[in-house]
Structure 1
Amino acid sequence: MSTAKPQPEGRAAYKAFRTIGTRWMDNDAYGHVNNVVYYSWFDTVVNAHLIEQGALDIHRGETIGLVIETQCNYFAPVAFPQVVEGGLRVAHIGSSSVRYEVGLFLAGEPLTVAKGHFVHVYVDRDTRRPTALPRRLREVLDALR
């Protein structure tokens, strides 16, 4: 395990981007976006990309992704009404699992205000047993490496 302190990254480290508007309710009592909202943004960046690319059918698909691990590092605060841009890349593809990495940027800014990852294990919708990644999903994931 690396002991190096996590550092912000630039936009070039990410392959796809999604714009997300903050909401009034995202701010907490301390006047900035609460940490739990960041994980929601990670989900939005990844799943919206997969759905738009035809790699994930959340209603009828036989294969679904279950999150088994998450992590986030914070570098600067975000507050409503700022706009966030989520950068996406894939760090690892296994036979049934994927590690997504997401960098969050304030609109137009060059460095991440937060970055993190989560791991999906893809399973059969009915049995909840791990299953091989479908062909289209693997194609979309490969493009994010």
Structure 2
Amino acid sequence: MSRDAARPRSAYRAFRTIPTRWSDNDVYGHVNNVVYYSWFDSAVNAELVERGLLDIEHGPMIGLVVETQCRYFAPLSFPQIVEAGMWVAKLGTSSVRYEVGIFAQDSEEAAAEGHFIHVYVDRDTRRPVPLPDKWREGLERLA
């Protein structure tokens, strides 16, 4: 079975450094697959907060994950430092597809990559809402 190669580091627009933790390793001595999804979530949401787009506690809308996927290329393990790169692959009316790559620190080759789709909904009704212009402008910079 052949598969596409991972995207290079240069394909990603924003990076976040993440230290691995002892508890990230599984019995096989590498970071467990579920941890990667946590890194995706943290990288995307931290970037949105830092750009002044997402107000986790009081914002009128929140992002719900409707789809996520990850492909693995190389193992990582504690005590490595990893870098999560991200870019916006698709900007819909109320949804965003984020592409995320996980790299060992200073590596040009991704250890894993995947995507993360948020649908943005009203905090109270949980119904989809259009992305505000400020969000569109901020997210287009990551495309």
TM-score (norm 2): 0.97
1:57 and 2:55 matched: yes
| Partner AA of 1:90 in structure 2 | V
What amino acid does structure 2 have at the position aligned with 1:85?
E
**Corresponding position of 2:89:** 91
Deviation, 1:4, is 6.3
> C-alpha distance in 1, partners of 2:75/2:85?
17
Q: Distance in 1 between matches of 2:133 and 2:109?
A: 33
Hey, what does 1:72 align to over in structure 2? Answer: 70
Aligned-partner residue type, residue 19 of structure 1? T
CA distance in 1, matches of 2:19, 2:106: 13
The list of structure 1 runs, each at least 4 consecutive aligned residues, that deviate by more than 4 angstroms after superposition, is none
Displacement of 1:91 in angstroms is 0.4
Quote the Cα distance in structure 2 between the aligned partners of 1:136 and 1:114: 31
Question: Residues of 2 paired with 1:23 and 1:46: CA distance?
Answer: 20
Q: 2:107 pairs with 77, 88, 109, which one? A: 109
- Between 1:4-13 and 1:21-30, the stretch displaced more is 4-13
Matched letter for residue 69 of structure 1: E
Give the match for residue 24 of structure 1: 22
1 CA distance for matches of 2:40 and 2:75? 16
5+ residue gaps, structure 2: none
Deviation at 1:136? 1.9
**What letter matches 1:29 in structure 2?**
V
SS of 2:42's partner is helix
Change (3 A) 1:63 1:4: farther
Residue aligning to 1:38: 36
User: For the residues of structure 2 that align with 1:44 and 1:89, how far apart are their CA atoms?
Assistant: 14
Counterpart-to-counterpart distance in 2, 1:73 and 1:131: 30
Distance in 2 separating the partners of 1:25 and 1:136: 38
Q: Which amino acid aligns with 1:100?
A: Y
- Partners of 1:51 and 1:135 lie apart in 2 by 16
Alignment deviations for residues 91-133 of structure 1 (CA, whole Å, 9 cap, x no partner): 0000000000000100000010000001100000000000000
Distance 2:2 2:135 in 1: 33
Structure 1 CA distance for aligned equivalents of residues 92 and 71 of structure 2: 24
RMSD: 1.1
- 5+ residue gaps, structure 1, are none
